[in-house]
Amino acid sequence: MKVPPANNTLVLASASPRRLDLLRQIGIDPAGIDPADLDETPLRDELPAQHAARLAAEKAAAVAPRHAGSFVLAADTVVACGRRILPKAETEQQARACLNLLSGRRHRVYGGVTLVLPDGRTLDRVVQTAVTFKVLSLEETEDYIASSEWQGKAGGYAIQGRAAALVRWIGGSYSNVVGLPLFEVSNMLRGVGFVPASSSPVPT
């Protein structure tokens, strides 16, 4: 599926600095950032993969009408133990509860991605990564809480920071755990004829 390369403007529908950094890592500098302000509460009986897919699609749908003729990329990251969706930790109590649950266990990280094309068509992907934490001692848990890296992070941890020392094994996309599955996103963009522009970088 190809689109005419007349407009290769990409808008990132996310305020996440991690997602912006990841895109720049593969040579894509969005022309704009326009986050969607949505209620991210899971629906009743909604499975983690469904939750990630729905939020990515809703973010894209909210932002795309404001950028007619552009590519719009939206994403959502969900950390889950079985069917249980872990929160984006906002308090020490939430972060501690997440770490205690993840300690010594394998969990899954679901990355939902939606790409809206300039002609209005959409592409959707859900990427799954398995992650196993070591058994955390009380000291390790409290040291991580003290770092404040958990603030606003799905599952109460940031794998690109100090939590890397807590991860015993990972299966699948590392960048998906950080916030954006780069292999899949790159293939989606390439598959529809998107070529990164060399100008109009997003301001920092």
Helix (H, G, I), strand (E, B) or coil at 190: helix
Query: What are φ and ψ of residue 125, in 5° steps?
Result: -140, 150
β partners of residue 111: 77, 127
> Among 139, 189, 192, 193, which residue's Cα sits nearest to residue 166?
139
Q: Which amino acids are annotated catalytic?
A: 76
Does any domain span residue 200?
no
Give the DSSP per-residue string, 85-124: EPPB--SHHHHHHHHHHHTT-EEEEEEEEEEE-TTS-EEE
Q: Can you say whether residue 136 is alpha, beta or left, with left for phi > 0 and alpha for psi between -120 and 50 degrees?
A: beta
Whether 3 is covered by a domain: the verdict is no
Is 5 part of a structural domain of the chain? Answer: no
Task: Out of 3-7, 21-25, 165-169, 187-191, pick the least confident.
Answer: 3-7
Task: Name the amino acid, one letter, at 44.
Answer: R
Q: What is the mean pLDDT of residues 162-176?
A: 98
Q: What's the pTM?
A: 0.91
The mean pLDDT of the chain is 92
Residue 44 lies in a domain: yes
104-115 confidence digits (pLDDT tens): 999 999 999 999
134 belongs to a structural domain: yes
Write the CA distances from 129 to 6, 117, 181, 186, 188, integer angstroms: 35, 26, 10, 17, 18
Q: Domain count of the chain? A: 1
Q: Spell out the alpha helix ranges (H) of the chain.
A: 17-25, 48-63, 92-102, 138-147, 174-178, 182-191
CATH number at residue 150: 3.90.950.10
Mean pLDDT of 57-71: 96
Angle between helices 17-25 and 182-191 (to 10 degrees): 60
Residue 80 lies in a domain: yes
Task: Pull the structure tokens for residue 186.
Answer: 């790159």
- Domain range for 28 is 10-191
Is 199 contained in some domain? no
Give a yes or no: residue 85 inside a domain.
Answer: yes
Categorize the per-residue pLDDT at 197 as very low, low, confident or very high, splitting at 50, 70 and 90. Answer: low
